[in-house]
Amino acid sequence: MEILIRKEKQNDYDEIREIIKSAFKAIEKDDNDFNEWTLAERIRQSEYYINDLSLVAEIDGKVVGHIMFTPLKIKGSNASYESLDLAPVSVHADFQNQGIGKQLVRAGIETAKKLGYKSLIVMGHPKYYQSFGFELASKWKIGLDNNFDSKYLFALELVEGGLEGVSGVVEYCPPFYNEKGELI
């Protein structure tokens, strides 16, 4: 099975929506509520969308997986640092457990490095993301709040020392927040 990883195109959007819905079907909600597919669409419609970092996996001309990265800030007490967030990553249910998600993550990491980014942040399953070299963000005192104790928040240096001297609270780009300013 040959998998092509490429940038998403506008004519992929409907397929991507179905892929994300399939991957997250266990938590499917009314489209008016927050969900991963509306998050991807909100990001795509914002100034924070990075087409070079919105990738699809294609098999025999059919899009079966998707990954998206967005800018985020790590706000310290004296400075703010630029980084990237990895979210969401999804593979259609019919194609899961075949290494497609791993290929998307690896391709995204390599693309982010080539584009000059220094670090990545992800909220997710420890075993999965640690397999790519992600470490607990608490190592750098990076957190969702000032407790820095999340066992699901991870960071990856894309260049040696990419997080040296960096610590603070993660601030996602605006599409991640509702109209009240709450993380959704």
Between CA 104 and CA 92 the distance in angstroms is: 13
Q: Up-side HSE of residue 181: CA atoms within 13 Å toward CB?
A: 1
| Beta strands 62-75 and 153-157, pairing class | unpaired
What domains can be seen in the chain, in order of their start residue? Answer: 4-176 (3.40.630.30)
Other C-beta atoms lying within 10 Å of the C-beta of residue 144: 18
Signed CA dihedral, 177, 5, 51, 30: sign only? negative
Going residue by residue through the chain (184 aa), what tens digit of pLDDT does each one get? 899 999 999 999 999 999 999 998 855 444 455 688 999 999 999 999 999 999 999 999 999 999 999 999 999 999 999 999 999 999 999 999 999 999 999 999 999 999 999 999 999 999 999 999 999 999 999 999 888 889 999 999 999 999 999 999 999 999 999 888 888 8
Q: In degrees, to the nearest 5, what angle opens at C-alpha 16 toward C-alphas 153 and 172?
A: 30
Other C-beta atoms lying within 10 Å of the C-beta of residue 148: 18
